[in-house]
Structure 1
């Protein structure tokens, strides 16, 4: 991928942390007080942070940064319970003074090339503006429910959940980081980040005063089954008063749980704090046990939003890395304008849950059983969207009757995907 004239792609280390923060502060319209600015040293993977630097005074002050991005080393759970090496794209920003010059395109190309060189077969992200990343082949692989619960929201009881122990404390990386990492590593839901970079854990537990907006310091609720941690949530409460009495709000930043009992015990605490009238949270899968066990679903005030976006970087490696629910043998024409090595006809042969995905240069692309763009392949990768849904939406083209249903059944997941924290 060529860098636009007058610029150069570079790696940046911690010595340029303030410059990276400066670019993203302009790109995302925020200001960090000087006393808090050092946080960026802790949360970025500096061996995987890149920038575009001005190389020509006609483009600006030579040597200054015009655009930045970073990629986190993750393991992502996929259908079948396996873990796929992942490059989590984040901190993508172009300074407003350098927009519309092709810098984002150059950075994405650089991100893809470096991720592939490291053996990372998918890239994931949370999109600030969803339309931007679709241009580069990212598909919406998971959706989430965002929920407002009234205090003491009634749920159908789950025997045994009350026996779990709950610890509520001020959140601390040193005291609680290992427990969060342990829970994440055992979560089975597709889309879960199971292997976290140390910087990701530091970011999850970062508590800047600028982010509190009048709330208390960051707190943690940790659920244990004996000594074993089984659920976690980071939250903040903000006190308020109405004419009728206390009207505080709980905002849950991120959370995760291993099973239904841990989920119910965790939310029994989060939705029933003294002086709080409501609890607000996102990152619920649409089949989450709490949503299914609510006695009054309407009272939860649920909205749906996009969650994780997936970009397939290596078609054969990515498809062979996940598990499958049924056998199939189909040929698929993949269109990928950005990564030409993915474009062409691929034979997807699945037997006993294992896939063999090979390029088929003998088949005329026009006669392949199905045709998919790489964006749509990303959308179905975690099983949240089905191939048949794409066909009905005219986002996939079935040429051989029955093959879309065949591949759809094979790629289906009986657990809806979700990434339970942003990055």
Structure 2
């Protein structure tokens, strides 16, 4: 059987995307969702694998800017829409697409590639490490009290039409991006994703709602949410489903959480994705009754070691030589000397003796500061050669706040 891998032509998009839907279970997306992702697809960065006239493989990339430790927004390929027809599995199609994609990412000058994984075990063999985690929670608001900091009562709240409030919400979001690694600066068109709300996906919940937090006439935070009415013989037991929440200061954030806690006819707040160090966990009276769970979020691949390590800053002075293994992208193989601090960094090839040995997968996991090199070493994934180098590098690579990806792609 002969297959052909080629760049996607716009006229092929419907068949290409239809194959992707089939690979993910065969449920056709709502028309508005399909239309949005058609408008966002960068065909010149997308690939199809064709068997005759049939599309049997898909992969694409979005041109993103990713926040990294130090606040810089670094160009990154957002790997997306990856699928292989069930009739063509285990024939090297996925590997061929990953090979072509990473070669093109490198040629385009992007030092990083990122993705969210439907199956986390798939992408490790292509050099991706889990760099950011996310927290989910289901909170019993009848039994869990919420304490708030001083100044919370100075924040006023206003319900707003989500579409009309989009500009104000995006302004808050843009100010938040440099403050937490792993966040994506919105590229043109991506603001529409925040409003995507197909009725077929609501599962009995209301259309999207929006509340703005204001101080002295300025929007300082927002929450987008939905309400799912539920009733029992004892009365109302509705659920508040939190979709987005961003705020510029602790009081504004607490005011938004307090509002979501107190929506009439509800007894549960359900959080689908928040940072693992999110502030609400320190406001609640009983975190056990919030049932927090953690799962993988952003997977990151270092495409160019030198450029990637120079793009971020380090929270403590560091001077280490890494011995990097990278069979899939052999241009990264070898020894790299990283010197840096909170002001910047330099990373160049060297013939000096290695201090630490690891694969590019572990380098990607540690890159945003949410996974420590010491924890990877404890799992046997990083090897210390020079005594003291592991602690030095691990402290330097850390981040004061946990990395987090606020939305999928």
TM-score, with length taken from structure 1? 0.90
User: Is 1:281 aligned with 2:267?
Assistant: no
CA positional deviation for 1:333 = 0.3
In structure 2, relative to structure 1, the CA distance for the partners of 1:346 and 1:384 (3 Å cut) is same
Pairs within 5 Å for 1:173-252: 175-187=164-176, 188-252=178-242
**Alpha-carbon distance between aligned partners in 1 of 2:24 and 2:349, rounded to the nearest angstrom:** 41
Paired position in structure 2 for 1:80: 70
User: Is 1:419 aligned with 2:405?
Assistant: yes
**Alpha-carbon distance between aligned partners in 2 of 1:337 and 1:321, rounded to the nearest angstrom:** 23
Paired position in structure 2 for 1:52: 48
**Alpha-carbon distance between aligned partners in 1 of 2:165 and 2:101, rounded to the nearest angstrom:** 32
**Alpha-carbon distance between aligned partners in 2 of 1:397 and 1:41, rounded to the nearest angstrom:** 42
Paired position in structure 1 for 2:295: 305
In structure 2, relative to structure 1, the CA distance for the partners of 1:177 and 1:337 (3 Å cut) is farther
User: Is 1:10 aligned with 2:7?
Assistant: yes
SS in 1 for 2:165: helix
User: Is 1:368 aligned with 2:354?
Assistant: yes
Contact persistence 1:89–1:123 (CA under 8 A)? yes
SS in 2 for 1:135: helix
CA positional deviation for 1:212 = 1.2
- Aligned pair partner of 2:124 in 114, 134, 140: 134
User: Is 1:31 aligned with 2:17?
Assistant: no
**Alpha-carbon distance between aligned partners in 1 of 2:342 and 2:140, rounded to the nearest angstrom:** 46
**Alpha-carbon distance between aligned partners in 1 of 2:36 and 2:105, rounded to the nearest angstrom:** 22
Contact persistence 1:189–1:416 (CA under 8 A)? no
CA positional deviation for 1:78 = 1.3
**Alpha-carbon distance between aligned partners in 2 of 1:85 and 1:290, rounded to the nearest angstrom:** 31
User: Which consecutive unaligned segments of at least 5 residues does structure 1 have?
Assistant: none
SS in 2 for 1:132: helix
- Aligned pair partner of 1:164 in 155, 161, 165: 155
User: Is 1:155 aligned with 2:141?
Assistant: no
User: Is 1:394 aligned with 2:394?
Assistant: no
Contact persistence 2:116–2:299 (CA under 8 A)? yes
- Over aligned residues, Cα RMSD in angstroms? 2.2
In structure 2, relative to structure 1, the CA distance for the partners of 1:104 and 1:344 (3 Å cut) is same
CA positional deviation for 1:340 = 1.1
User: Which consecutive unaligned segments of at least 5 residues does structure 2 have?
Assistant: none
CA positional deviation for 1:168 = 2.5
Contact persistence 2:42–2:62 (CA under 8 A)? no
**Alpha-carbon distance between aligned partners in 1 of 2:37 and 2:294, rounded to the nearest angstrom:** 34
In structure 2, relative to structure 1, the CA distance for the partners of 1:68 and 1:224 (3 Å cut) is farther
**Alpha-carbon distance between aligned partners in 1 of 2:29 and 2:341, rounded to the nearest angstrom:** 57
Which stretches of structure 1, 4 residues or longer, exceed 4 Å deviation after superposition? 33-38, 40-43
SS in 2 for 1:273: coil
Paired position in structure 2 for 1:20: 16
- Between the two proteins, the alignment pairs up a number of residues equal to 407
